[in-house]
Amino acid sequence: MSSLDSSFVKNSSWKPDLFKGKVVFVTGGAGTICRVQTEALVLLGANAAIIGRNQEKTAKAAQEMSQLRSDAKVIGLGNVDVRDVQSLVKAVDETVKQLGRIDFVIAGAAGNFLSDFNHLSSNAFKSVISIDLLGSFNTVKATFEQLRKNKGAIIFVSATLHYYGVPMQSHVGAAKAGVDALSNALAVELGPLGIRSNCIAPGAIAGTEGMDRLAPPEQRKSIISKTPLQRYGSTRDIAEATVYLFSPASSFVTGTVQIVDGGLWHLGGMMGDFYPNVIISAGEDDPKL
């Protein structure tokens, strides 16, 4: 089911038709964070194409999101692999055919899991780099002509994992560092064409697949205590940052990373209670290649 509803517009700081006539193209759009990003844009007038690998999940999410606004058009394009640029090109062509244009792009497809270096195989490392970093590049590559034509904007969904050393996350930290670097380069290269490029770096966001997978239940209270704002983030927090970065309010903002984590990264992240014992014990096993 949808995570936002019409009350978002009633209680929002944003104008109801802020994105009327605009179209957003979202990879990973059926996932928890990217879905709510998309819902906020749809509620504020945009139409959307959500892109995913799972056909059934993607189509179901699109159908549910199309109910958020009486005249909303949300299409779900499944069986799309962001590692294959031609797969994305076909999705772009279908989006333009059905929705007419693309103004905004959210590159949100990602893969993650916990693994110490000793048990992180070369193939597993490559897989995360391919989805997160190459997939982000391919997404912009496939949508570039539409972005140039419509003087559009890009948001990459990044992370804070490369701001310091985070155990069990070397693969994702490396990938997201690349995503930030890619966004910065595109901000400089594409700015003269009227295209803006920014990142959003979520922190500990409650109710997300990533939080469920990466934070053990016994660790979650300590995460709140280490977060300066003393709470988990919500998917709405990410949605609000997304609306800002696509809105005219940020028309002179490009090449930035909007960190939405309540200040947690300043205190060194989430693994402190388990370090170094969990790493030492994992390193004693035979390594994977």
pTM summary value: 0.92
Residue 129 has pLDDT above 70, yes or no: yes
Per-residue pLDDT, 218: 62
Pairing of strands 74-77, 47-51: parallel
pLDDT digit string, tens, across residues 148-182: 999 999 999 999 999 998 888 999 999 999 999 99
- The partner residues of 236 in beta bridges, in order of sequence, read none
Structure tokens belonging to residue 74? 């949300």
158 assigned to active site: yes
pLDDT grade for 10, boundaries at 50, 70 and 90? confident
As a whole number of Å, the CA-based R_g of the chain is: 19
Is residue 246 assigned to a domain? yes
pLDDT digit string, tens, across residues 199-227: 999 999 998 876 666 666 666 777 888 88
Is residue 288 assigned to a domain? no
Q: How many domains does the chain have?
A: 1
Q: Distances from the Cα of 241 to the Cαs of 37, 43, 57, 136, 167, in angstroms?
A: 9, 15, 25, 19, 28
How many residues would you count in the chain?
A: 289
Is residue 9 assigned to a domain? no
Would you say 71 and 96 are in contact if contact means Cβ atoms under 8 Å apart? no
pLDDT digit string, tens, across residues 252-261: 999 999 999 9
Domain span at 18 = 14-283
176 assigned to active site: yes
Per-residue pLDDT, 219: 67
Is residue 4 assigned to a domain? no
User: Phi/psi class of residue 214: alpha, beta or left (left: φ > 0; alpha: ψ in -120 to 50)?
Assistant: alpha
Would you say 44 and 16 are in contact if contact means Cβ atoms under 8 Å apart? yes
Would you say 259 and 227 are in contact if contact means Cβ atoms under 8 Å apart? no
| For helices 170-190 and 135-150, angle between their N-to-C axes, nearest 10 degrees | 20
Is residue 234 assigned to a domain? yes
Among residues 12, 115, 158, 170, the one annotated as catalytic is 158
Is residue 22 assigned to a domain? yes
Among residues 12, 66, 136, 176, the one annotated as catalytic is 176
Residue 90 has pLDDT above 90, yes or no: yes
Q: Domain with 234 in it: what CATH number? A: 3.40.50.720
Q: Distances from the Cα of 200 to the Cαs of 47, 60, 104, 244, in angstroms?
A: 21, 26, 14, 11
Euclidean distance between CA atoms 184 and 198, whole angstroms = 8
Is residue 182 assigned to a domain? yes
Q: Distances from the Cα of 100 to the Cαs of 92, 172, 263, in angstroms?
A: 10, 35, 40
